[in-house]
Amino acid sequence: MKNYIGEKCPYCGKTFTENDDIVVCPDCGTPHHRSCYREHGSCANTGSHNSEFRWNPQMKKETAESIVCPECGCKNTAGSRFCANCGCPLQDNKTEKTEQRPDFSRNGFGFRTVQLPLNSAVDGIPVKDWLVYLGQASMGYVFSFMKQDKTGRKIGFSLPCLVSPFLYFVYYGSAKFALLSLLLAFICRLPTFLYYFVESAPSLIGISVNTLITLADIGSYLFLAYSVIIAVKSKWIIRKEAAKKIRSIRRECTNEEEYSETLQKKSCPSLASKVILIGMILVCLISVLSL
């Protein structure tokens, strides 16, 4: 493994030293820290395995010679005049006036929109796969993931998660955090439920009405605090949970066509979220009809 000393791990970005435990991808030869490879479950260049891609030390030099866009931070090949992501000039505005700069599209509010570079990857997963799996809000999530890589901060706020953590994680197929949110909601709101819906609860459980009211207030504040914290970290959590599922789908599929079909089939919203939504609609209809 001495040949890899001085190169960088594609996941953590740290330079390999003589004391590092290094493993090499059997498909493309990309070196990783063993711990990084185990944590992510696959090669950082998995998205390129279907091509003739092979890792080589020259890639480090090519990366160093790339031009970083001053506006969006995207890396471009040496000699590029405009950023492939946002169209910003890369040659200190020395581009000839006769050469056209890529057009920007604008949405209905007049804000400039930028196309995602579909040939790039996040956590070794091609951007196009993220867009398929995450569904309608996928573009905003991928931009958030790229910002996380750029800043090194494991945060990403989501308003739907703040409103209902349980439904949010069910929507994105994260059973672990959905169950955690449901359990905390039940525990924190149990005093409120007992106070409003069970008239004889205070005498049955041996707690005074004032104490029950205090516990209900404390529970509400605790769940609010949990909702704020989890909402701030929500996009980072979804990134990790979704990455595991996408890699799992990749490992289970034997060819690209099967992978694309399975990825589309298992994309968000999850089946559980659809069932819950239909159930809520049915309950509302029954309630209205019974009035």
Query: 33 has which bridge partners?
Result: 22
Please give the pLDDT value at position 110: 45
Please give the pLDDT value at position 77: 64
Buried b (16+ CB within 10 A) or exposed e, 189-213: eebbebbeeeeebbeeeebeeeebe
Torsion over CA: 1, 51, 72, 76 (sign): positive
Burial of 165 (0-12, 13-18, 19+ CB in 10 A): buried
Torsion over CA: 90, 93, 97, 100 (sign): positive
Q: Where are the beta strands (DSSP E) in the chain?
A: 22-24, 31-33, 67-68, 75-76, 105-106, 112-113, 121-122, 125-126
With contact defined as beta carbons under 8 Å apart, do 45 and 10 qualify?
yes
What pTM was estimated for this model as a whole? 0.60
Nearest to 133 by CA among 49, 238, 36, 44: 238
Which pair of tokens denotes residue 178? 């959905």
- Averaged over successive runs of 10 residues, the pLDDT of the chain (291 residues) comes to 76 82 85 84 75 65 56 62 63 42 45 59 88 87 89 91 93 92 93 74 70 89 96 95 92 89 89 82 81 64
How far is it, in rounded angstroms, from Cα 90 to Cα 87? 9
Which pair of tokens denotes residue 80? 């590029």
Which pair of tokens denotes residue 5? 């000393």
Please give the pLDDT value at position 31: 87
Q: 1-65: which CATH topology?
A: Herpes Virus-1 (3.30.40)
Please give the pLDDT value at position 177: 95
For the chain, the domains span 1-65, 159-289
Please give the pLDDT value at position 273: 81
Other CB atoms within 10 Å distance of the CB of residue 48: 19
Q: Reduced to 3 DSSP states, what percent helix, strand and coil does the chain have, rounded to the nearest 5?
A: 55, 10, 40
Angle, vertex CA 46, rays to CA 42 and CA 51, nearest 5: 155
